[in-house]
Amino acid sequence: MAISVGDTLPDVKLIKVGESGPEPVQSSEYFAGKKVAFFAVPGAFTPTCSAKHLPGFVDKAEEFKAKGIDEIVCTSVNDAFVMGAWGKAAEASDVTLLADGNADFAKAVDLTMDGSGFGMGTRSQRYSMVVNDGVVEQLNVEAPGSFEVSSAEHMLGQL
């Protein structure tokens, strides 16, 4: 069963894209004590993710902070090196990128998709959530092929 509003995030290892390279983090520790605008994309450098999803959060970072968000976090089923390159290419210094290279987090929240038809294997569905001290306060899961409810603009309207 997919994660729901009111659930605590699963405790899974993710890889933070740091200035000195990949840094392993435990999700239970990472999300503790802060309010996070969290979104997931099917893949770094993919069309909608690169043209709309990540740039929306980059452009609206100050608005999120003004509404009480401590951090903006993006995850994808990519390795940390790809996520790091994507963050640099998108000038996404206001967004923390957490690599979910083995899809452990995507599987743990039961929000995976089968991208094998595109040669991508198991990927994360596109979604966004507000996480407060590790607990899901809002959850917006996109219908397959859609980009509406997980956008930065939609999330800002919910805050």
Active site residue 49: yes
Tracing tokens 């899901």 back to the chain, one arrives at: 136
C-alpha to C-alpha distance for 102 and 86, rounded to whole angstroms: 18
Task: Please report, to the nearest 10 degrees, the dihedral formed by the alpha carbons of residues 58, 64, 66, 69 taken in order.
Answer: -120
Using alpha carbons, select from 74, 87, 72 the residue that is nearest to residue 37: 72
C-alpha to C-alpha distance for 78 and 81, rounded to whole angstroms: 8
C-alpha to C-alpha distance for 76 and 72, rounded to whole angstroms: 14
- List of residues 6+ apart from 157 with CB closer than 8 A: none
Given 49, 73, 109, 152, which residue is catalytic? 49
- List of residues 6+ apart from 60 with CB closer than 8 A: 152, 153, 156
Give the active site residues.
49
